[in-house]
């Protein structure tokens, strides 16, 4: 009984980690630039397939390090060339742009790598169980590694936003980019940076997901919606909220799935509806951010 519960909990936490990471990246881009990046799933896929491509040359650890960075490079290139032109326009336009990008990404990956799924090799040392011989054999080291990596990533991001000058500027830009610009900060570079960090996190999530689930061109599509839910539940405008929201819905849906497979996903929508009725701005959301 306890084993089953722990199993569902760990599984839910893993899924929640991915939701949280994606929501984190999305939220970062959203808060600063007001762009709903529908191509975020695409960046995850790019990260995963880049890791796959780099694996023969750099191995697992090299790919883990390089792929997210390269994904961020792609993100920055796209932001500075295309997305930037739409900041002064209707927010609808950038939403449509990222949707177009999402389509292009998916099809491009399909053209280069084919439609079939591919496996991604994780070092054997990670695939071993952490507690062999016990009932908790399913807790592989890779899963722990996943959780730890995501938490470290979240912590680094927090430190960046809270302690570094650039991070503080970014937080200021969320609140009032005009004044910040008037005070002499290059706000458009902050926008680019937010895109870069956001896509970096997406790329990282992609590499981690590849190790867990293997590679398919559509692996990012199913994460978009829960990420949005995570952002809304966690709180509009809050980075911590987005991550916590992701973990929350991951764990809740994992636990709910214990009763019926379909109940797991439905739990997400239930939580969303609950949030909207009780506290529309979300857990950590600030009043008046609903624009």
Which residue number, 17 or 23, has a Cβ lying nearer to other proteins? 23
- 221 near other proteins (CB under 8 A): yes
Site mask for other proteins (CB under 8 A), range 113-152, x = bound: ----------------------------------------
Which residue number, 107 or 176, has a Cβ lying nearer to other proteins? 107
- 259 near other proteins (CB under 8 A): no
Handedness of CA 210, 5, 284, 150 (dihedral sign): negative
- 225 near other proteins (CB under 8 A): yes
* Close Cβ partners of 283 (under 8 Å, ≥ 6 residues apart): 233, 234, 235, 238, 241, 244, 245, 275
Q: What are phi and psi of 258, to 5 degrees?
A: -70, -30
Q: Quick one: which of 9, 11, 19, 12 has its CA closest to 154? A: 19
Are the CB atoms for 25 and 202 separated by under 8 Å?
Answer: yes
- With vertex at residue 266, the alpha carbon angle to CA 261 and CA 270, rounded to the nearest 5 degrees, is 150
- 158 near other proteins (CB under 8 A): no
Residues 2-41 that bind other proteins (CB under 8 A): 30, 34, 36, 38
- 85 near other proteins (CB under 8 A): yes
- 43 near other proteins (CB under 8 A): no
Are the CB atoms for 204 and 20 separated by under 8 Å?
Answer: no
Are the CB atoms for 172 and 32 separated by under 8 Å?
Answer: no
CB of 22 to other proteins, least distance (A): 13
Could you list the residues that contact other proteins (CB under 8 A)?
A: 30, 34, 36, 38, 82, 85-86, 89-93, 95-97, 99-104, 106-108, 110-111, 221, 224-225, 228-229, 231-232, 236, 262, 265-266, 269, 272-273, 276-277, 280, 290-291
């Amino acid at each position: 009984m306890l084993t089953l519960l722990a199993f569902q909990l760990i599984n839910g936490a893993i899924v929640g980690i991915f939701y949280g990471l994606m929501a984190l990246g999305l939220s970062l881009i959203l808060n600063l630039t007001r762009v709903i990046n529908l191509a975020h799933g695409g960046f995850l896929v790019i990260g995963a397939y880049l890791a796959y491509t780099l694996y023969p040359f750099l191995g697992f650890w090299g790919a883990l390090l390089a792929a997210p960075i390269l994904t961020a490079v792609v993100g920055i290139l796209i932001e500075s060339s295309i997305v930037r032109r739409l900041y002064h326009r209707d927010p609808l336009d950038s939403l449509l742009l990222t949707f177009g990008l999402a389509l292009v990404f998916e099809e491009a990956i399909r053209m280069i790598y084919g439609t079939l799924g591919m496996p991604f090799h994780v070092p054997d040392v990670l695939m071993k169980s952490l507690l062999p011989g016990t009932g908790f054999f399913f807790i592989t080291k890779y899963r722990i590694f996943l959780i730890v990596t995501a938490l470290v990533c979240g912590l680094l991001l927090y430190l960046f936003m809270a302690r570094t000058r650039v991070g503080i500027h970014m937080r200021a830009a969320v609140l009032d980019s005009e004044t910040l610009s008037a005070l002499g900060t290059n706000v458009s570079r902050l926008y680019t940076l937010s895109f870069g960090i956001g896509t970096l996190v997406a790329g990282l999530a992609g590499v981690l997901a590849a190790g867990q689930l293997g590679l398919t061109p559509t692996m990012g599509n199913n994460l978009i919606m829960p990420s949005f839910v995570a952002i809304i539940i966690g709180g509009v405008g809050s980075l911590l909220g987005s991550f916590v929201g992701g973990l929350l819905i991951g764990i809740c849906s994992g636990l709910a799935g214990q009763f019926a497979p379909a109940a797991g996903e439905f739990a997400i929508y239930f939580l969303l509806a609950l949030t909207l009725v009780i506290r529309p701005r979300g857990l950590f959301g600030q009043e008046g951010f609903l624009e």
